Each structure stands twice: as structure tokens, then as C-alpha cells.
Chains A and B, each alone.
Chain A
Amino acid sequence: MAKPGDLKLQDGSRIAVIGGGPAGSFFAYFTLMLADRVGLDLEVDIYEPRDFSLVGPPGCNMCAGIVSESLVQNMAAEGINFPPSVVQRGIDSYVLYMDVGAVRIDSSRREARIGATFRGSGPRDVKDVKWDSLDGYLMNLARDKGAKHIRARVNKVEWDADPATIPLAERRLTLKTQDGKSQTYDFVAVTTGVNTALLKVFQELNIGYDMPRTTKAHIREYYLGDQAIEKYIGASFHAFLPTLPNIEFAAIVPKGEYVTLALLGEDIDNATVDAFMADPAVKQCMPPGFEFDKIACWCGPRINLAGSAQPYGDRIVFVGDSGVTRLYKDGIGAAYRAAKAASTNVVFHGIAREDLAKHYGAFCRAMESDNNLGKFMFAVVRQIQRFRFSRRAILRMAMEEQKRPPTAHGGMSMVLWDMFTGSAPYGDVFKRTLHPVFWSNLAWNMAVCLVGRQDVSRPTQSALESGNQ
């Protein structure tokens, strides 16, 4: 058996990346970047059947397309700056809607540091594509670093020799594509996401991989036109905490002349979507008389609820949604961080299961324990939502904070900002809530809202636009 660190990539080693979404492109890009820095000559093939320049489902990886504040900054530090052709809207604030009112929360630096993007080339009904796809842009970065794009779907992965008799150092993984071709690789990164049947193949490979636990989410795109976007949506991310049982969170995000509506929770079906659309808060956000049945594009992708317990094996790693990702938030940012952990592992520490367990495994375990904290926090949010006075207290506290300059501990505004934009790990958000000033302010607002019966006044549209309530 290979000892940890024995099995390493060498000059000429061949890597296959299955899936050219963010996880695949980031993994290819950073593996080639790190290899280049240490003078290691690698060959990287990305298998991706999608053409990201197409509009509608064939070019799209089904997501709300928010590039988080932390990812925008980390990428800038890496030397990658998202151009305005890829970002359809720079977001500088968000508006949180509850049945008791709404509050607009500005980014602490009053700067557009969140990007709203189309993963493909836009909704199905787009005639004139005026933008670049995020996934296409990331794939091009990987290609510029030297990765080769093979436009094919992988449908089988197997050892090229019997694992029972042939030592690991002497066997490789073979990939077969739908067109009947096959190639053998020294290392395979699986970055297929969770909307694929291929993951079952890896369970049959007996490498200890188990699939992430997922549920169905819902995305719709609506055409609003420039004027309506400016008037009603602006540069804000609109977040909803509806009191419907299986929705954790919903968002309306502006992108060019369109808005994307994303509903996250457990098993979201059409009845849930219709109930959400009938919510007065949603009607308040959208233009008056808006026809909710004029859908430009929609999909029901799967979203992770729990990651794979062992997203690695000998000569193989699972990165992004197919491995471990963040609960409900910042999946693209999580794909970036996981891709970096995996590429650092394979370039510097080795490609045997033990090596991956030690380094990449530690990263995945940390992300999963943060997700467990996230689950707890969403459960707390659900409890808070049960009582009208506590819903009002949260809004009131955030509104009062928005009238004053930001404080060091950030208060409710920062807790909501980080929780709903996915800008910080759940652990950080939780720590913010432990601050004594946070608790005393929350207790005060709870008391005020318990005594006073009237709802927090609803901000007018112009107040939401300017941020002055």
C-alpha cells in the first residue's frame, strides 16, 4: 500500500476534471497555477458537455448567480476581477421583507461588492445576448492557464486494472464518454454538481464515497425591463423570510433587464411557489400589477442539505456541490475555497486517499461543522418567525441601526447581512450574536415590540431606494 505522500503528481501527469462549472474551472485553474509556480508540468482536461454561450437551460447551471462579497474580494486578491460584462448587476444593499415590514441594509462600505450574474447566457426568451456567462468566463480562465475543454459527458469511471490485485501506484482511472471514447488519468476531480446521475457510478466504484443529501429548490426568471428594475428593484438583493412551512429563504435578484427569483428550502413544489407569489411582501417588491405567470425561464435544481462524508479516495477528489458546500449560501464561493484546498493538496501533498483525508478532508470537515451551526441558526430564525413581536423586534433593531453610522460589532444589520448574503461563515455570524451589545439591544427591541402592538412602519418605495427609512 502507498504510504501517505508516496503517490504524487509528476511532470506529465494527466488530470481529468469532470464538470466545467465553478468547482471544475477553479480546480483546473488553481491546480495549473500552483503547478506552474513549482515547475510541475501537468495536463488537465475538463469534461463539460454544456455550451455556456447558449441561452436558457442548455447553457445554464441553475442558480441565483450571486457572487458573494467575500468571493469578489478573494478573487481580486488572486488577480481575477469580474468584468461588467459578466456581472449583470453590482449589488450594494439588500432589503429584507417580513410580513411585519421591510428594512433596507446597506453594505458596510457603501460599495457594490456583490455580483449578480447569469451562470449561462441568460433566460430562455433572450433574443440579443448582451453579457457573458459566469461559468463560461471561469472556464476561459482555466483554458488560458492551459486546461483543455473536452465537450463531452462522462458516463463511466473505472479502474484500468483490478484493485484487488494491482497496487495503487500501478493503476489509474479510466473515463468513458457518451460518444464511446475513453482516456486514462493519474488523477480525477469530480466537479459535476448534484444535478447528475453520474454520482451513482462513484458509489459503485467502492472508494468510500457517499452522495450529498439534497432537496429540490426553485428558480424563476422574469423580464421587467430597465425602467422597472431601476424603479422597484435597484441595486439591491431582495430577501424574504416568508412564514410558509418549507421555505427557509427566498430572494429576488436584479440582473440586467431581468430579475431572478430563487426559493430555497425543502422540496419546493409549484403549490409552495404559488403561495409565495401571493405573499403581500412579494407584491410590495415587484411593480404594481406585475403578471407573475409571465415566466421567462424556470428550473427546479437540487440543492445540498448535507455534504458527502468522504469526498475523496485514491486518485480522486469530489469538489464543489458533489463533495461539500455551504448550506444554502455562497455555493460558488464554497466551490472556490474547496477547489483551492483540493488543488493545494494534490500539488503539494499527494493524491492517495490518506493524503486527501489529512488536508482536503480537514477543510471539508470544517465546512460541514460550520453548516451544522448554520442549520441551528436557521432553526432559531424559524422560531423567531413564529412570533409577531419577535419578527417586529428584528426589523426594528435593524432599522434603528441603519439610521446611525456602522458600529464595530455590526449589530443585527451585520448578522442579517452575513446570514443572507453568505458573506461570512455561519460561525462568524453566530459569534456576532454573542456580543453583549447585540443581546441588550435585542432585548430592548423585543420589550418595545411586546408592549407596542403596531407593526414596524413599512418603508415607502423611495425610502427603500435611498436607504432612508
Chain B
Amino acid sequence: MDKGALGKEYEAGTVIVRQGETGDCMFVVQEGQVAATIEQDGQESMLGLLGPGDFFGEMCVFEKQPRGATVRALTNARVLTVDKKGLLRQITVDPTLAFNLLEKMSARIRTLNSQVAWMDGEQNLRK
């Protein structure tokens, strides 16, 4: 790892968080690429690829639910952990700290909406 690098390095293929685990932090990718996958009924589906500046694991910060996805390093990746308690505490003092997180989460919902609409369209075409 570069001497000035912050966070922790994960070799390609390493699991960073596992679906179903309880979590007390979120993560921000600093370098490299990670992949988020979800396992349902024994089948693994790819949710998306994340790169520098992207975050994951944020659902655990706002919901009391186990991790919803498994995230693996796709390339060698460097990832910074952000503690849930510290983050929530700072958001109570400075609610605007949540703006960036809300913006990214809202962008994800927007992408999901268009994917659902596209899948609906596909199904209608098949009917």
C-alpha cells in the first residue's frame, strides 16, 4: 500500500462484507473496483460495480438490518471504513452531512426505478 494511502487494502477476490452479517460501519472505495452481489434462492446476481468515491454498506447505518449484499474486491482495492456511531452522531449535530449520502442513495433509487420500468416493458412485450 502507498505510504500515504488511507484505509485498508484488499486483494482481488477478497470478501469485504458478507450478506447476512451484522454491520457497524459503511465503506468508501478509495482505489480499485469492488463488486456487490446478492444471493437469493441459491442464485448469485450482480448488483453493480463500485469504484473510487463510491460507498457501500450504508444501509446498515440507517437500518437495523443485516448486510443486504456481499461485496468483494474485483481488483486490488483500497477501502475506508466509516464508523456508524460516529457518523450518526455527527449527522445529529450537522444534518447536512447526510446530503451527499442521500444524493447517492437517491441516484441509486432512480437507477433502480428505470431498471424496474425497463423490466416491466420487457415483460409487457413478451405478453
Scan residues 57-102 of chain A and give those whose CB is less than 8 A from a CB of chain B.
Answer: 70, 72-74, 76-79, 81-90
CB distance from A412 to the nearest CB of B (A): 20
Q: How far does the alpha carbon of A153 sit from the alpha carbon of B7 in the complex, in Å? A: 38
Q: Is the CB of A34 within 8 A of B96?
A: yes
Return 23 A-B CB contacts under 8 Å, by A number.
A34-B96, A72-B80, A73-B81, A77-B55, A77-B87, A77-B101, A78-B97, A79-B104, A81-B28, A85-B4, A89-B4, A90-B7, A109-B8, A109-B83, A111-B7, A111-B80, A113-B81, A131-B4, A256-B4, A337-B94, A340-B97, A344-B94, A363-B93
Q: How far is the CB of A118 from chain B (nearest CB, A)?
A: 11
Q: Select which of B1, B3, B6, B93 is within 8 A of A72 by beta carbon.
A: B6
**A335-355 vs B, Cβ < 8 Å mask (1 yes, 0 no):** 001001100100000000000
Give chain B residues whose Cβ lies under 8 Å from the Cβ of A88.
3-4
The answer to whether B90 touches A82, judged by C-beta atoms less than 8 angstroms apart, is no
B94:A89 contact, CB within 8 angstroms: no
Most buried by B among A81, A85, A89, A340: A81
B94 engages A90 (CB within 8 Å): no
Interchain CA distance A340-B96 in the complex, whole Å: 8
The answer on a CB contact under 8 Å between B4 and A113 is: no
Q: Does B82 contact A (CB under 8 A)?
A: yes
Is A300 part of the binding interface, using a Cβ–Cβ cutoff of 8 Å?
no
Residues of B within 8 A of A (CB): 1-8, 25, 28, 30, 52-53, 55, 80-83, 86-87, 90, 93-94, 96-97, 99-101, 104
Known A81-B52, A81-B53, A90-B5; judge A111-B28 contact (CB<8 A). no
Task: Kindly list chain B residues whose C-beta atoms are within 8 Å of the C-beta of A85.
Answer: 4
Mark A residues whose CB is within 8 Å of B.
Answer: 30, 33-34, 37, 70, 72-74, 76-79, 81-90, 109-113, 115, 131, 235, 256, 337, 340-341, 344, 363
Q: How far is the CB of A277 from chain B (nearest CB, A)?
A: 26
Chain B residue with Cβ nearest A73: B82
Cβ contact of B99, chosen from A37, A84, A87, A111, cutoff 8 A? A37
Known A83-B4, A113-B6; 12 more pairs at CB < 8 Å = A34-B96, A73-B80, A74-B87, A74-B90, A76-B55, A77-B82, A77-B87, A78-B97, A79-B104, A84-B4, A87-B6, A89-B4
Distance in angstroms from B33 CB to nearest chain A CB is 15
Q: Check if B3 sits within 8 Å of A256, measured CB to CB.
A: yes
| B93 CB → nearest A CB, Å | 8
The distance in angstroms between the C-alpha atoms of A72 and B52, with both chains bound, is 15
CB neighbours of B86 from chain A (8 A): 70, 73
Q: Are A112 and B99 closer than 8 Å at their CB atoms?
A: no
Compute how far the CA of A131 lies from the CA of B2 in the bound complex, rounded to whole angstroms: 13
Which residues of B have CB within 8 Å of A89? 3-4
CA distance A83 to B94 in the complex (A): 25
Chain B CB within 10 Å, residue with most, of A83, A112, A115, A363: A112
Distance, CA A82 to CA B6, complexed state (A)? 8
Is B6 within 8 A of A79, CB to CB? no
Taking a contact as CB atoms under 8 Å apart, the answer to whether B100 and A78 are in contact is: yes
Contacts of B80 in A (CB 8 A): 72-73, 76, 81, 111, 113
A73 to B1 alpha-carbon distance, docked (Å): 19
Assess A79 versus B8: contact at CB under 8 Å? Given A109-B81, A337-B94, A340-B97.
no
A464 vs chain B, min Cβ distance (A): 18
* Min CB gap B16→A, angstroms: 12
Nearest A-chain residue to B58, judged by Cβ: A77
CB distance from B89 to the nearest CB of A (A): 9
| Complex CA–CA separation, A82 to B52 (angstroms) | 11
Q: Which of B2, B4, B99, B101 has the most CB of A within 10 A?
A: B4
Given known pairs A70-B86, A109-B81, A340-B94, the reply for A81 and B30 (CB within 8 Å) is yes
Provide the bound-state CA to CA distance between A85 and B97, in Å: 25
Residue from A73, A78, A86 whose CB has the most chain B CB atoms within 10 Å = A73
Chain A residues with CB under 8 Å of B8's CB are: 109-112
Contacts of B90 in A (CB 8 A): 70, 74, 77
Q: Are B6 and A344 in contact (CB under 8 A)?
A: no
Q: Which one, A84, A113, A131, A341, contacts B94 given CB within 8 A? A: A341
Question: In the complex, what residue of chain B is closest to A79 when comparing beta carbons?
Answer: B100
Q: A344, B28: Cβ atoms under 8 Å?
A: no
Assess whether B52 is in contact with A90, with CB atoms less than 8 Å apart.
no
Given A77-B97, A340-B94, A344-B94, answer yes or no on A84-B82 (Cβ-Cβ < 8 Å): no
